[in-house]
Structure 1
Amino acid sequence: MKDMSKIAIFTLIIGFIIIAVTVSLFIELAGDVLEEEKFFADRIFQEFIVFAEEDWLYQLMGVVTEAGSILFLTIASVLLAVYLFFAKKSKWYSIFFSINMIGISLLTQVLKLVFERERPELIAQYGGTGFSFPSGHSTGSVAFYGFVGYLLWKKIATKWLRVSLVLFFAFLAVTIAFSRLVLGVHFFTDIVAGMSLGAAWLITCIIALEFLLWRGRKQRNS
C-alpha cells in the first residue's frame, strides 16, 4: 500500500465503499423478496412507467433492451475478450473481462433459481421469460458496459472525450435496465437489485485486475 499513489488509494477506498453499499442494498432487497413482501415502489412504477405496446416509448425501449440481451452481450463479450487477448500487452485484461461476464451470468442465473420470483408479465419477444429477481439485463449491462467504460477511461487521453464516453455507456446501461420496466417484464426492485449486483461484481473484478497490474509493474521495476 505504501508504494501506491494517494489517488490510487483514494480510488480503492471509494471502490470498496461502493461495493459495500451495493451489496448491502442487494441483501436488503433480497431478504424482503424472500419474505414475499410487497414493495410500494414496484406498485408505483407498474402504474406509471409501464406503457402500452403501441406507445412510441414502448417501441423504443423494445429496441434499446436488445443491447442487454443474452445473445447480444454473449457475442459482444466474446469479440471483446478475443480483442483484448491479442491487443493488450497484459492478458489479464481479457481474463478479468471474461471472469466479469461469465461470473455475473452465473450469479444471476443461480440467484434467479434461489428466489424464484415470478415476473409481472411474461413477454418472450423481449426476453421476458423465466424468473424475475434479479434482472439479468440489469446485471449483464452494468457488468459489460461498465467494463467497456473502464477500458476507455484507461485508453483515451483526451479528458472530455473520455468522460463523455464513460457517461454515455453508463447512461446506456441504466437505460437498458429501465427499459425492462417500460416493457413490463420486471419489477422496479428487480432492476435496482440487478444494477447493485452488477456494480458490486464489476468493481470487484476491476479492483482485482488493477491490483495484479500494479503488482506486475512493481515486480518489473524492483
Structure 2
Amino acid sequence: MLNTLKGVPTRTFILVVTALLIIGGNCYIFTELGKEVLENEKFMIDRHAADFAENLATPLVMNFFAWITELGSIWALTGGSLILVSVLYFYKREKWRIVSFVIAMGGVTILISRLKAAFSRDRPNILEEYDGTGYSFPSGHSTASIVFYGFIMYLVIRSKLNALAKWLINIFLGILILLISFSRLPLGVHYFTDVMGGLALGLTWLVSCIAILEITLWLSGKKTKKEL
C-alpha cells in the first residue's frame, strides 16, 4: 500500500483527498435537506429567499433571468454537450475526458429524474415557459448546470491557457452557474432549498467524475511508461 502511494503524484493525491472532503460535505448537505423534504418540513430560508427574490422581480430583472435560466435548460445543455464532445474528439482526441464527460452528463440526467420522483416535492408554481414542470427537489437547472459548466472549468484548468485566462474564464463560468441557479427563485419555479440541494448534488457528482478521471489518466499514463 505504501509503495503504491509513493508512486502517486502529489497533485493527484491532493486532488483525491480534496475530492473526498467535497463529496462527503455535499452528500451530508443533500441528505439533510432530503430528510426534511421527505417529512414535508417548511424551511424558513425558503420564505426569506422567496421574499428577497420577489422584491427583485422587476420586468427588467425578470427578462434577464428568463434569458439566463435558458442557459441551464435541457436544450441548451444538450446542444452544448454535443459541441464540447465534438471539440474534444476532433481537436484534442481526448478519449478519457470524452468518456468522463458523457458519463457525467448522462449520469446526472438519470440522477435528477430519479431523485425528483423519489422526493415528489411540489413546485411553488407550475410555469411551463420557464421549464417549471414536474417535481421540484432537487433543482434540475442547478444540478445539471454545475456539472456541465463545472466540467468546462476543469478542462480550462487542465488546458495550456495562461493563468490569467484561466482565472477570467472560470470566474465567468462560476458566476454563470450561480446566476442560472438563482434565476429559478425570481421566476418562481423553485424553492431556495431546491437550488441548494441541486448544487450540492451536482458538485458531488462532478467532483466524483473528475476524481475518477484523474486517477484513470494517471493509471493510463503509468501503464504507457511501463510499455515504453
2:178 maps to 174
Equivalent in 50, 55, 65 of residue 54 of structure 2: 50
Separation (CA, whole Å) in 1 of partners of 2:28 and 2:211: 19
Aligned partner of 1:185 in structure 2 is 189
CA–CA separation in structure 2 for the residues paired with 1:80 and 1:150 = 13
User: Structure 1 69/30 Cα, relative in aligned 2: closer, same or farther at 3 Å?
Assistant: same
2:12 touches 2:215 (CA, 8 Å); kept in 1? no
Total equivalences in the alignment = 222
For structure 1, list consecutive stretches of 5 or more residues without a partner in the other structure: none
2:220 is equivalent to residue 205 of structure 1: no
> 1 CA distance for matches of 2:147 and 2:110?
13
1:10 match: 14
**Alpha-carbon deviation of 1:50?**
2.8
Q: Are 1:141 and 2:145 matched, yes or no? A: yes
The percentage of aligned residue pairs carrying the same residue is 38
The structure-2 alpha-carbon separation of the partners of 1:170 and 1:155, relative to structure 1 and needing over 3 Å to count, comes to same
* Residue type of the alignment partner of 2:187: L
TM-score of the two chains, using structure 2 as the length reference: 0.93
Letter in 2 for 1:177: S
Structure 1 residue 220 displacement after superposition: 1.1
Give 2:68's match in structure 1, choosing from 46, 60, 64. Answer: 64
RMSD: 1.3
Is 1:131 aligned to 2:115, yes or no? no
Stretches of structure 2 lacking an aligned partner (at least 5 in a row)? none
TM-score by length of 1: 0.96
SS at match of 1:68: coil
1:22 aligned partner, one-letter code:
N
Q: How far did 1:87 drift?
A: 2.6
Which aligned pairs between 1:143-158 and structure 2 lie closer than 5 A? 143-158=147-162
SS at the partner of 1:104?
Answer: helix
Q: Is the 8 A contact 1:33 1:115 kept in 2?
A: yes
